[in-house]
Chain A
């Protein structure tokens, strides 16, 4: 158990819908990263937040957005869902110093869009 929690574990929804994935980082970690892992793809970096502010953006679609709240939990919002958005979504957190950027991963949310 890495100490990073994600909910829900599974999510099944229909095309065109909107969902919210939630992540709580390890205690004391300020950075949260979101990744998408689709079938036959590696981990694709989506977005990073640090202490409530967006720090870096990767291959995140305009239909997707994220935020990090004052208690440091983060939410990833996916809207106008398409079949191709079906994937495993991971979040990870990093300690504020040391550890050489080591990331600790949550268990993931498996999203199925029907």
Chain B
């Protein structure tokens, strides 16, 4: 069984705060790590694909880092806004022909105005 763990499970922050959450995964046979943003009543949307150890990706106020040797990725949100409220999912892709993703259970972020 492949375990992709995300912490914390949920998080409430004030508007303007910066925050971060963690995705942990087994580092063997690593291929890629995906971050998705999932708003209520919508479908998950891709944020980042990370493939190389030491990768850093940024999109506006959201950034992510990757450590494939120790098996973790961090997602950072700088100056959180209410519209950032969503569940943030990470998903691991491993080498192989099935091309599946194994999803973590997500971090539910609520940004309070």
List the interface of chain A (C-beta within 8 A of B).
2, 31, 33, 41-43, 45, 48, 50, 55-56, 90, 94, 99-108
A36 nearest CB across to chain B (Å): 12
In contact, A106 and B49 (Cβ under 8 angstroms): no
B44 to chain A: which residues have CB within 8 Å? Answer: 43, 90, 105
In contact, B43 and A90 (Cβ under 8 angstroms): yes
In contact, B49 and A102 (Cβ under 8 angstroms): yes
B99 on interface, CB distance cutoff 8 Å: yes
B10 nearest CB across to chain A (Å): 11
In contact, B100 and A101 (Cβ under 8 angstroms): yes
Checking B43, B89, B93, B106 against A101 with a beta-carbon cut-off of 8 angstroms, the contacting residue is: B93
B46 on interface, CB distance cutoff 8 Å: yes
In contact, A100 and B43 (Cβ under 8 angstroms): no
8 contacts between A and B (CB under 8 A): A2-B45, A43-B89, A48-B100, A100-B32, A100-B51, A102-B49, A103-B91, A104-B46
A85 and B101 CA atoms in complex are apart in Å by 23
A56 and B101 CA atoms in complex are apart in Å by 11
B2 nearest CB across to chain A (Å): 10
A31 and B93 CA atoms in complex are apart in Å by 15
Given contacts A42-B104, A43-B103, A105-B43, contact A100 B98 (CB under 8 A): no
6 further interface pairs, Cβ-Cβ under 8 Å (given A101-B101, A103-B91): A31-B99, A42-B106, A43-B89, A101-B31, A101-B93, A102-B49
